[in-house]
A and B are shown apart, each in its own frame.
Chain A
Amino acid sequence: MDFITWAISPWGRSVPIHIAWYLIWVALIAGLLFMIVHALYVGIFAAPRKFAKNDSPAVVAAVPERVPRHSLVARAFHWVMAISMFALLITAFLPKVGIKFDWVTYHWIAGLVLTASIVFHIIHASFFLDFRSIWPDKIDLRDAKRRLLRSMGKDVPPPDRFAKYPLENKFYHAVILLSGLAVTVTGVFMMKRVNTLGLFTRNPYLFGDMTWGMMYVLHGLAGVGLIALIMVHVYFGIRPEKLPITKSMVFGYMSRDFYLEEHDPERWAVEKSSPPQKGYAPSDAD
């Protein structure tokens, strides 16, 4: 079973034209399986999480009741991106599973919104936020190892609480970054092949058949990957233990109790009066 659909070009060459559409179902099933397995693991097998905690009274006292986590700009970006991503997935894949409608115009408009929001996010995160806060650091990797060993019954010290973002969150961001860049970069080029109401001048000769084909395949692979990724993202967004994080993406803050339970004030400083230590992530609101 081939995961790429091939065709013979007018010049007799075998060229890829797009992914095999059964991959839509593979992605859906993979996303569902992940959710089921994770829910069973957390609900039945996983031991309660335990973090190393040693907050001084001064540090605890300095934490406000509402810990600012996401600025209005960051939240607006997230939800604009979410809406455009859902619009893209719906317009891309419903017609492929038999629900026919005029999808192309809506798809590329949503694609442009996503592209613009990603460009904005890259600039915003690089120059106005702590760029490193979303990337794994040594403590994350050390603690991941500790958590793994503890889940296997080994006697190792408990992991530290998270910085602003848990390690899983950072990995997810990295994967969604790769797939998001793949769909947007290929998608922008693909707009040279459709009527974009005068926005782009059509030029089907921009690349050769093989390059175009690989571009469609990459766009498709990243697209079906996003089906599973978005399913998993929504799943974690509605899990009870993650709801405070989801709410913070709506209201901008999380509670003091949740912050102190899950996040290490030394790794994610929220005091507005004192600058964070090097390598530590301040709140978006800072």
Chain B
Amino acid sequence: MAVIRDVMPAFDLLQPSSAADAQKLLQQHGEEAWVMAGGLDSFDWLKDRIKKPKVLVDLSGIDELKGIRTTGDGLEIGAMTTLTEIANHPVIKAQYGVLSDAVSVIASPQIRNQGTLGGNVSQDARCWYYRGGWPCYRAGGNICYADTPVGRNREHAIFGANRCVAVHPSDAAPALIALDAKFVIQTPKGERTVDAEDYFLGPEIDITHLNILQSGDLLTAIRIPSAWSGAKFYFEKVRDRNVWDFALMNVASAMVVLGGNIDRIRIAVSAVAPKPMRLKAVEDAVHGKPADATTGAMAGNLAVQGAVPLQFNAYKIPLMRNLVKRAIGGVQEATWTS
């Protein structure tokens, strides 16, 4: 975490009371506006005086962006719903347990009380060179300080690096991809809905943004379809300490098993690439196969194909192989291999 250097720079604080007003304000102020949800990412940037927006649009007063609603096809979670509410929601716990498992291990209880689902999936990269205000690629510069012979890159990407090697830090993101969630975005041209995996951007497309939100766009809700309700879920987060830490890696899967064989599956990992990765090749490979350790081992080996470790993060390859193995074969079935 960067050292807090100073008080926040001056900005105009705008506090709309409706999503429509918020979207209009974002459209009006364009690149000069900063969207703040729970503030946990925003205040780091602002107190470090690295980001200096002219206008800050605080979404905390918009009630319509909060809460969990049952729809005809699953659930709709307002983007400003707190992580604690999601973690404790009875329907989510009972039917979409991978999401409650994921959000319940985000950061710390205090942060989950303040942090929101929309903020968690939209937060910026946690690479310390970038957060430290250095002029790296992600900050608009022309170098990646982490991807140098002596760069500290233990937590960085083994897949999808393209000049920038930072990973996506969200724990909720892989769970939402596993649940085939849809992200609802209010844009200047109207409402737009995208698949969870399409919400995130890699540096090959846009090196300065982690998601598709443009100026004037507002993430309003995340819809969880009922297709995966009650499926067999798995979520595991590996981190250096058991509370208040970002993931070294996490895995989320949703699986429907019929007669012992995998009928349907979605599996995603995070903190291995600049965006959460859905493992489509693994899904295809394990379809119709027994949900056991043998299939898990095969899936794990397949998952790490093409990984390119940096100087200090080769450990992520066996870590990913084993997490995928456990997600499919189960913790009891799978034995850890290095």
A-to-B contact residues, CB < 8 Å:
5, 7-10, 15, 17-18, 95, 100-104, 193-195, 202, 204-205, 209, 212-213, 216
Residues in B whose Cβ lies below 8 Å from that of A104: 162-163, 204
- B161 CB–A CB distance under 8 Å: yes
> Of all chain B residues, which has the CB nearest A216?
B142
B140 and A17 contact, CB distance less than 8 A: yes
Report the Cα distance A9→B142, complex, angstroms.
11
Q: Which of B107-154 contact A (CB under 8 A)?
A: 133-135, 139-145, 147-149
Q: Closest chain B residue to A102 by CB distance? A: B204
CB-based contact B145/A10 at 8 Å: yes
Given A17-B142, A212-B143: 13 more A-B contacts, CB < 8 Å: A7-B141, A10-B134, A10-B145, A15-B135, A17-B141, A18-B141, A100-B206, A104-B162, A194-B163, A195-B163, A204-B144, A205-B149, A209-B143
Residues of chain A lying within 8 A (CB to CB) of residue B144: 204
Do A5 and B148 have beta carbons less than 8 Å apart?
no
Residue B205 lies at the interface, judged by CB distance under 8 Å to chain A = yes
Chain B residue with minimal CB distance to A105?
Answer: B204
B142's contact among A103, A195, A213, by CB below 8 Å, is which?
A: A213
Q: Which residues of B contact A18 (CB under 8 A)?
A: 141-142
A236 vs B270: C-alpha distance when bound (angstroms): 53
A220 to chain B, nearest CB (A): 10
B139: chain A residues at CB < 8 Å are 7
A residues near B149, Cβ cutoff 8 Å: 205
Q: A7 touching B162 by the CB < 8 A rule? A: no
Assembled-state Cα–Cα distance A42/B72 (Å): 68
Q: Shortest beta-carbon distance, B117 to chain A, in Å?
A: 25
Contact between A204 and B148, CB atoms less than 8 A apart:
yes
A17 contacts B163, C-beta separation under 8 Å? no
Q: Which of A8, A95, A205 is in CB contact (< 8 Å) with B135?
A: A8
- Give the complex CA separation of A5 and B139 in angstroms: 12
Inside 8 A of A9's CB, which chain B residues have their CB?
134-135
Residue in B143, B145, B147, B163 with the greatest tally of chain A CB atoms within 10 Å: B143
